[in-house]
Structure formats: C-alpha cells, structure tokens
Structure 1
Amino acid sequence: MFTGIIETLAKVEKIEKENSNVHFTFSSAITNELKIDQSIAHNGVCLTVVRIEGDNYTVTAIDETLKRTNLSDLNLGSLVNLERCMPANGRFDGHIVQGHVDATGICKEVKNLNGSWEFVFEHEKNKTNITVEKGSITINGVSLTVVKSTETTFSVHIIPYTFENTNFNTFKPGSKINLEFDVIGKYVAKLLGKN
C-alpha cells in the first residue's frame, strides 16, 4: 500500500522490449536503498524491482500494465514520480493508494495562480471513475485533493513544493497522466450497484 506522498523522481536510463513486456531501467537518489523484489510506485504504478546495478535498477511492465497506464509513453530521460510502500509503522500522510491505476486522463489546462497552480484533467466517463469536491485522487502517484468535479473532469491545486519535486512541472495541455480513483468511492459505488 502507498500513500501518494512522492519521495523522489527517477530518470529512465534504458528501455528494453521483450515479447509483450518492457523492462525499464531507472536511476534515482534512492537506488542504493532498494532491494530486489521490492514494490515501488512509478507514476502511481506498482512495479517490482527485478535487477539492481550500481545507481540503476530495473522493473518490468507487462502488456496489461502498458495498456492501462502512461508507462508506454516513457522515453529515455523521462522523469517518473517514485514512492516506496508504506512501512507498517509509518505515518499515513496522504490517502489509501493501491498502486493500481484505474485509467489514464489528459491534462486540459494549467493555470499559474501566482503562488500555486491549477490543473484541470479529463477522463472517460465510467461508473467507478468518481471524483468529488474535497475528495482524494491520485495523479501519477501523487495524493491530491479535488477542487472542482464533474462526471468527466476535475481540477486540483498544486503548491510550489509539489510542483518542483514531482513531474507535475512537465505537464501541459495534452499530457497523458495515470489516475487512481479513491478506493473508498469505488467500494461505495459497488455497494450501491453502480458498477
């Protein structure tokens, strides 16, 4: 389980295709703390470390993961948000994040609010793709609070720290992002027969 509080960024160093899988090799400031078989969220996608060599580590994304996320859009030099799993004795700073991306969305608008930023995103209409004002949403692994919400769009506001220390500073209209909708909302929708 994750909390959506990003630890650092990782840079794509190598992309290797093998049948329908893709092996991504990253460099990061925390590589020396990682171990093989550890789960790490990359842009909100839970992936397992399969190899560590010096300052680089490798994870494998299968076809299903590539189809449901923005990982297939990564290029050499792309930056991804990283978060290791929450330790059992850790502080719960964000919200419940599973590392299971529900859908991708598109950045529609970025507004500089002279001290913060407003991002507007669009997603497909779906019975479990639910956002509510002041509810939680995970975008590229970042736990955020929804400001405005419709059936297919929502907005969030970003503080300078988040803008500078995640890949939000690379988003522009048309950027594809990973979305994990609030798990509590998904269970409520199921209980109410909405999916």
Structure 2
Amino acid sequence: MFTGIIEAVGTIKAIDINANGARLVIATNTLDMGDVKLGDSIATNGICLTVIAFDSTSFTADVSNETLTRTGFAEYQVGAQVNLEKAMLASTRFGGHMVSGHVDGVSQIKSITNNGNSIEYWLTMPNDLAHYIAEKGSITVDGTSLTINALSDDSFRLTIVPHTVKETIFAHYKAGTKVNIEVDLIARYLERLLLGNKELGKNDAPKSNINEAMLAKAGFLK
C-alpha cells in the first residue's frame, strides 16, 4: 500500500521486454535504499513492483504481461524518468490517499496551461473508468496522489502546485504524454459491494446487505 506522495524521481537504466513480460533496472537517485529488502514493493510511476535485486543506487524488478498491457510501461525507454515511492509503514504520515499500486488504465495529457503559480492539466478520461472519477475526488497519476478539480464529458482537470511539479515527473509532461492512472480504491470497492454477484453472473448466490439506501443512511451518500 502507498500514499501517492512521491519520494524521488528515478531513471530507467535498463529494460528487457520479452515474451514473458519485462525486467527493469531503475536508478533510484535520491531515494533512500537503506531500509529496502528483497521482496519489498516500490511504486514506479504508480505501478507496484517487487524488488528482486538491489544495491544502494538501483533496484531490479520483473513486470508481467498483464502490467505491460494495462500501463504505459510497454512504451518506456532507457533514460525515461519515473516517480518512485516505497511502500508505506504503519508509522508513516498518510499525506495522500490509499493507493494500491494496481494501475487501472492509461490516460493522455490533452492540454497544459498556467494559472497563477499553478499549472492546470486536462487529461482524457477512459470510458470504462469515468464513473469512478468525481470532482474533488482523488486519483493517482503516475503514482502521484492528486485531487480532481473539474470534469467535462471526456476529460478531467488537475491543478498542480509548484512543489509537486518540482518533486515529480510532471515537469516533463506535454500534450500527448501518456500516464498511468489508478482510480480511488474506495469507489471501486463500493461499486463491487453494490453489484453483489451480478457482475459474476451468479444471480442465485447470496446478495450483499449493502445497498444505496443503507449507504445514504450511514452518511456515505448525499
């Protein structure tokens, strides 16, 4: 589990894509590797990767074909910069929101404009994820926890403050850049509970006691 607060910007040192997936070597740059162990998780552009080898300046991880299909990793090249965050600790400040590191899809930067000392980014909204994306809700973009500030029929707007631009790869984005997105984890689980077993086609199975009326009574819906 992660918080979406980026700890460092790394660089892809090597990438080997083959029939079985891919193997990456990431230079960690300023990321503190002093407490990293084999098997630990490091979110890389929002993707939870398992450390299979490491030293004080880099780590190696395998990427499955499923991950290559659902994310932008298949297009990454040596030298590309990536956002890095180590898995959160129980004692860590929860500065962002609950991030699983399981990317839901790929979005694309539509436009970038200055607004005072901040920068506004409009991004495409994949049709199959649109119902999870709400104004003032949370979303993860390349591993960064962000607030959605506006919606249109097919896109959403982010307002990025200078500190975030400085500490992440947002400064490298331009119109057309593809980014990994993960929708709010709570929204996805709520949908699953409301659906019960309909999604699985098991209409004769026991149904969940959770419904919209119960959620509204408990104050989750307005």
TM-score range, shorter chain: over 0.9
Aligned letter for 1:2?
F
The more displaced of 120-129 and 103-112 is 120-129
Work out the CA distance in 2 between the residues paired with 1:119 and 1:54.
35
Determine which structure has the larger strand proportion and give its number: 1
- TM (norm. structure 2) is 0.82
Aligned letter for 1:32?
M
C-alpha deviation, 1:186, in angstroms: 1.4
Unaligned 5+ runs, structure 2: 200-222
Aligned letter for 2:135?
E
- Tell me if 1:100 matches 2:112: no
Report the structure number with the largest CA radius of gyration: 2
Work out the CA distance in 2 between the residues paired with 1:98 and 1:134.
20
Q: Which residue is 1:22 aligned to?
A: 22
Q: Which residue is 2:151 aligned to?
A: 149
1:89 to 52, 69, 91: 91
The more displaced of 14-23 and 170-179 is 14-23
Q: Which residue is 1:40 aligned to?
A: 42
C-alpha deviation, 1:18, in angstroms: 4.1
C-alpha deviation, 1:56, in angstroms: 2.1
Unaligned 5+ runs, structure 1: none
Percent of aligned pairs with the same amino acid: 36
C-alpha deviation, 1:26, in angstroms: 1.0
RMSD: 1.8
Q: Which residue is 2:114 aligned to?
A: 112
Cα–Cα, structure 1 residues 156 and 15, in superposed 2: closer, same or farther, change >3 Å? same
- TM (norm. structure 1) is 0.93
Determine which structure has the larger helix proportion and give its number: 2
Matches for 1:43-192 after TM superposition, within 5 Å:
43-126=45-128, 129-150=131-152, 152-192=154-194
Cα–Cα, structure 1 residues 27 and 129, in superposed 2: closer, same or farther, change >3 Å? farther
The more displaced of 137-146 and 9-18 is 9-18
Work out the CA distance in 2 between the residues paired with 1:150 and 1:192.
26
Q: Greater relative contact order (Cα 8 A, min sep 6): structure 1 or 2?
A: 1
* Count of matched residue positions in the alignment of Structure 1 and Structure 2: 195
Q: Which residue is 1:10 aligned to?
A: 10
